[in-house]
Amino acid sequence: MSLIIRKLAEISRQKHAGSDTVAVVAPCEEKRLPMLHRGVRLVMLRNLLSDLKELERDDINSGQFLNGIHTKDSATDWKEFSRERDEYSGKACCLHTGLSFVETMVIAGMTNDPNSGEDYFADIDTFVSYTWRGPSASLGALIVSVEDTLSTNGIGVRCDTQHKKFFMSLFHQLLFRFSGGLCGVP
């Protein structure tokens, strides 16, 4: 058990007891960990997924992870965020820094896998494009998918197929063009 979420939540409660909804003002940009150094390695994702499972919330989506398991809609979830309602939400874990989840982990000294010692973070080399809400938007499934996709660099599942034939037509959309003409007469 990695306890990333539980540990950050505890630190947040201790260091920022004044408000369950309003974070501290973040430090200026120069004092932050530069964006390009905030890349999350797979070992950290695996441990985060393990945390989510331990908290029985591996099927929540990214919006719920961030603003609280009780939230349902991206348009309103930020209004419903409160540590009082979900102390293990991503934003609750970062109330004391006003920074990102990654930066908050770094500030807490959580930069390595406690079992293997592997670094959690490195320079970003892979962008993940996804949605926070909607069908099939579970954060756990996303993490599994990212790891699978990166490890196979493609797809490799076999399964039976039903036999069906396709008939290709030689017709293509016509692109009208001039036909080659003869030389002009005098």
Residues between 107 and 136 with contacts to another protein, criterion CB under 8 A: 121-136
Task: Please report, as residue ranges, which positions from 78 to 107 form the binding site for another protein (by CB under 8 A).
Answer: 78, 90-91, 94-95, 98-103
Separation of alpha carbons 177 and 109, rounded Å: 68
Q: What angle do CA 107, 80, 130 make, to 5 degrees?
A: 65
- Closest to another protein by CB, 69 vs 144, is 144
H/E/C letters for each residue in 94-110? Answer: CCCCCCCHHHHHHHCCC
Only segment of 5-13, 16-24, 50-58, 109-117 that touches another protein (CB under 8 A): 16-24
> Nearer to another protein by C-beta: 115 or 167?
167
Among 14, 115, 116, 161, binds another protein (CB under 8 A): 161
Minimum distance from residue 1 beta carbon to another protein (Å): 19
C-beta of 3 vs 24, nearer to another protein: 24
Applying CB under 8 A, which part among 5-13, 19-27, 49-57, 106-114 lies near another protein? Answer: 19-27
Contacting another protein (CB under 8 A), which of 17, 53, 111, 148?
A: 148
**Span from 6-14, 52-60, 108-116, 168-176 in contact with another protein (CB under 8 A):** 168-176
Task: Give the Cβ contact number of residue 123 at 10 Å.
Answer: 9
How many residues make contact with another protein (CB under 8 A)?
94
Distance CA 156, CA 144 (A): 15
Which is nearest to 92 in space by CA: 181, 26, 4, 10?
10
Instruction: Name residues contacting another protein, limited to 38-77 (CB under 8 A).
Output: 38-42, 45, 48, 62, 65-66, 74-75
Residues in the chain: 186
CA-CA-CA-CA torsion sign (145, 51, 44, 102): positive
83 with 12: CB under 8 angstroms? yes
Residue (of 160, 22, 152, 156) closest to 83 by Cα position: 22
